[in-house]
Amino acid sequence: MKKFAVVILLLAVAFALLQLARPSIPSQPATAEVQAPPEVRQVLEKGCYSCHSDERKLAWFDEVVPAYWLVRHDVLTAREHLNFSTLGSKPAAVQRATLFEAVNMIQLGAMPLPSFRKVHPEAKIMPEDMAILKNYLAPWSIKPPHAAATLQNATQALVNLDAVQPEFNGQAFDAAFEGWKLLSITDRGDNNTLRVILGNEIAMQAVQRGNLSPWPDGARIAKIAWQQQTGEDGLIYPGSFVQIELMVKDHARYKDTEGWGWGRWRGFGLTPYGKDAAFVNECTSCHLPVRGNDYVYTLPVTSAAAGGEEIVNRHAAAFPAGLPYQPLGWNVITTYVDPERRTTAVLFGNDQAMKAVSARGPMAQASQYPAGAVLSLVTWAQRDDPHWFGARIPDAPISVEFVQVASTGQASAYRGFGGAGLAEEHPTVNDSEQKTHFIEALMPTRLP
């Protein structure tokens, strides 16, 4: 009995001594708090400030070592990624983008950390709290500028893609992305960009088979972004080029970064993103909430089934077998959004059409398609992206149109399919000519 008491005493002394091993958690008043209405800051203070601010807000049980060590590590790591006490010093666009990311981390259940919520139930973000944040952010409330305001890159000198510098982590740029096929498109209302997501042959084969849990080694995904611009017709088109993001799957080589190699190249100079290799931490932390989808946000457009929910977008691939062509197997020429109808459209071209389209050439009308070229304009209804608040992705197809280019001096042939089951339509000659002219006159997207 005495030995047991001695053991208890020694443990108590050791526990007391451990309490002295208490490195500090710096605390200070906010120097540049996030610029947002009081009701928005109140929600953030409730669910985020305990870790993501310079305030020291620990419960009594957080103060007890060794729990204190874990809490301190989480707080310092959280502040490094996002600090609402200093966020106000950054440009308004950066603050807005940061709030969108915060909302998405909350919506996907990544924040507050599940372990934190278990012992701090008061930090739970309720539906009414999310409504306050989403109403404040109001994606698509900022209208894209008119086309004339965003063509400053039109005469920018082209970059030698083979000479683009690798990322700071050593990830090489892949100049072959221009020949990859469509995985999906995204209308981003949080930052007014249009994004086309492409996959290499290995990625596309995996998509066609539903083999995405995990993605196979060798799969490559390129996400290309342009600023949105509003045309004279009220449609939203790709404007100034923003960036290319690249994900490369190799579970052995990239085991320390979730099995993926990451890279981002910005602007017409395709400048590697970040200051050093630590930029990868931004990528992995942002993609952590979709680890169940092998860290991929995109829902590929495919008719294949895949395990789990919201891994592929089968609605958008609901094309009847009787179409004269299946355009999803072709390359992308351009895309646009109709904000009034809430639709997304993509112009595809067959091999002959793509030979006449230089995506990296001068910005000019691409109406000089050779005989034998076939263009296909696919229009989808939009739905909210389940993985990202502020984004819309394709839903069910509304129409599929084809233009078969004829020899010089002859009229191109138009066929359109729409409505329930995408049945063939029979427009008047005048309507067919107007639709053909619109499709042939669509401008290719501008790449570096």
Q: How far is CA 228 from CA 10, 146, 209, in A?
A: 67, 9, 33
Q: Write phi, then psi, for 275 (nearest 5 degrees).
A: -110, -25
User: Identity (one letter) of the amino acid at 341?
Assistant: R
Q: For the chain, which residues make up each domain, given as ranges?
A: 21-137, 147-293, 316-440
Q: How far is CA 206 from CA 199, 237, 309, in A?
A: 10, 30, 17
Same fold yes or no, 147-293 and 316-440:
yes
Cα gap 309→292, rounded to integer Å: 10
Stated pTM of the model: 0.88
Q: What is the dihedral of CA 149, 150, 154, 155, to 10 degrees?
A: 60
Secondary structure element (H or E) that encloses residue 392, with its range: strand 391-404
- Six-digit token string for 206: 């995996």
What CATH number belongs to 147-293? 3.50.70.20
List, in sequence order, every residue forming a beta bridge with 397; answer none if it has no partner. Answer: 380
What CATH number belongs to 316-440? 3.50.70
DSSP string of 308-368, one letter each residue: SSSSSB-GGG---TTSS--GGGSEEEEEEEETTTTEEEEEEE-HHHHHT--TTS-S-----
- pLDDT for position 171: 96
Maximal CA-CA distance, the chain: 107
Cα gap 66→207, rounded to integer Å: 46
Block means of pLDDT (10 residues each) for the chain, 448 residues, are 66 62 77 89 87 81 74 81 88 90 89 79 86 93 74 62 94 94 97 97 96 96 96 94 97 95 95 94 92 95 86 94 95 96 97 79 58 96 96 97 85 92 94 95 85
- pLDDT for position 363: 39
Owner of token pair 């590697």: 272
